[in-house]
Amino acid sequence: MKRLAVYCGSASPADPRYLELAHTVGVELAKRGIGVVYGGGRLGLMGAVAKGALEQGGEVIGVIPEALAGAAGRGGEVANHDCTQLHIVADMHERKAAFTRLSDGFLTIPGGVGTMDELWEAVSWAQLGYHAKPVGLLNAFGFYDHLIAFNSQMIATGFVRPAHQGIIMAESELDLLLARMAAHEPHTPIFAMKSSEL
């Protein structure tokens, strides 16, 4: 894995553990020689991931929609011009397509609605066969316990096919998660299935 798309929040929760986690993820990816592809912002967890990676000399590629690129946030512009590369794209659809094109996998850490949109698209596209890349979920502090339970409910109810039940790789420790992602073996996507398997 040369680059991972890191999905996370642009907010800064009151609990300092979340920003510390994001910074650590950036640091650890850079130490492993793994580039970061992310939302291109300098605020919240997104900014902390980028800062951690850049401090270690890592590659950081930001992808930000033009509507956000010039927006003002706390203390100035939202876009992070310290990135190794900063791509300004037309909209969110182009942004997510760029995440997929530029990365070798997807790593989701805590975040909100936008983070969920990115995670579920990565999962959905993996099911269909638009990509064959690992989808990792860092369940730090039990943040994603309910999401993991909901995914299990979808599986138990029959809405997730057996071939796709392992797409989301969830771990509470980054080392374990990265090891699983590195060992990822693609599943059979829906596009390659026979009608009898659907």
Give the residues across from 163 on adjacent strands. Answer: none
Which residue is listed with tokens 């930001």?
A: 62
Cα 94 to Cα 113: distance, rounded to the nearest angstrom: 18
Is the model's pTM score more than 0.85?
A: yes
Statement: residue 11 has pLDDT above 90: yes
Q: What is the pLDDT of residue 32?
A: 98
Q: Max CA-CA distance within the chain?
A: 57
Task: Please state the φ and ψ torsions of residue 46, each to the nearest 5 degrees.
Answer: -60, -50
Statement: residue 40 has pLDDT above 90: yes
**For the chain, what is the mean pLDDT?**
94
pLDDT tens, 120-131?
999 999 999 999
Q: What is the pLDDT of residue 78?
A: 86
DSSP state of 79: B
Separation in Å, CA 123 to CA 33, 51, 107, 192? 25, 27, 11, 16
Q: What domains, with CATH codes, occur in the chain?
A: 3-197 (3.40.50.450)
Q: What is the pLDDT of residue 193?
A: 83
Q: What 3-state DSSP class applies to 46?
A: helix
Cα 153 to Cα 149: distance, rounded to the nearest angstrom: 6
Average pLDDT over residues 111-125: 97
Q: What is the pLDDT of residue 77?
A: 59
Statement: residue 142 has pLDDT above 70: yes
pLDDT tens, 144-153?
999 999 999 9
Q: What 3-state DSSP class applies to 48?
A: helix
Average pLDDT over residues 24-39: 98
Cα 94 to Cα 39: distance, rounded to the nearest angstrom: 12
Cα 60 to Cα 46: distance, rounded to the nearest angstrom: 11
Cα 138 to Cα 170: distance, rounded to the nearest angstrom: 6
Cα 126 to Cα 140: distance, rounded to the nearest angstrom: 23
Q: What is the pLDDT of residue 73?
A: 56
Q: How many CB atoms lie within 10 A of CB 185?
A: 7
